[in-house]
Amino acid sequence: MQKREQAITLAFTGASGAPYGLRLLSCLLESGRTVHLMISSAARVVLAEEEGMKLPGSPEACERLLSERMQAKPGQLRVYGKEQWFSPVASGSGAPRQMVICPCSTGTLAAVATGMSNTLIERAADVVLKERGQLLLVPRETPFNSIHLEHMLKLSNLGAVIMPAAPGFYHQPQSIADLVDFMVARILDHLQIEHHLSARWGYGNQTEPKNAEG
Q: pLDDT of 106-155, one tens digit each?
A: 999 999 999 999 999 999 999 999 999 999 999 999 999 999 999 999 99
How far is CA 175 from each of CA 70, 101, 169, 204, rounded to the nearest angstrom? Answer: 22, 24, 11, 17
- Average pLDDT for the chain: 92
How far apart, in whole angstroms, are the C-alpha atoms of residue 134 and residue 51? Answer: 28
* Band of residue 204 on the pLDDT scale cut at 50, 70, 90: low
- pLDDT attached to residue 3: 66
The answer, yes or no, to whether residue 10 has pLDDT greater than 70, is: yes
Global pTM exceeds 0.85: yes
* Band of residue 187 on the pLDDT scale cut at 50, 70, 90: very high
For residue 78, what are the contacts with CB-CB under 8 A and spacing of at least 6? 34, 35, 36, 37, 63, 87
How far is CA 134 from each of CA 54, 95, 153, 164, 187, rounded to the nearest angstrom? Answer: 30, 12, 16, 16, 12
The answer, yes or no, to whether residue 56 has pLDDT greater than 80, is: yes
How far apart, in whole angstroms, are the C-alpha atoms of residue 97 and residue 128? Answer: 6
- pLDDT attached to residue 200: 75
The answer, yes or no, to whether residue 214 has pLDDT greater than 50, is: no
- pLDDT attached to residue 190: 96
8 Å CB contact between 12 and 47: yes
Give the phi and the psi of residue 40 in degrees, each rounded to 5: -75, 165
The answer, yes or no, to whether residue 30 has pLDDT greater than 90, is: yes
How far apart, in whole angstroms, are the C-alpha atoms of residue 3 and residue 21? Answer: 23
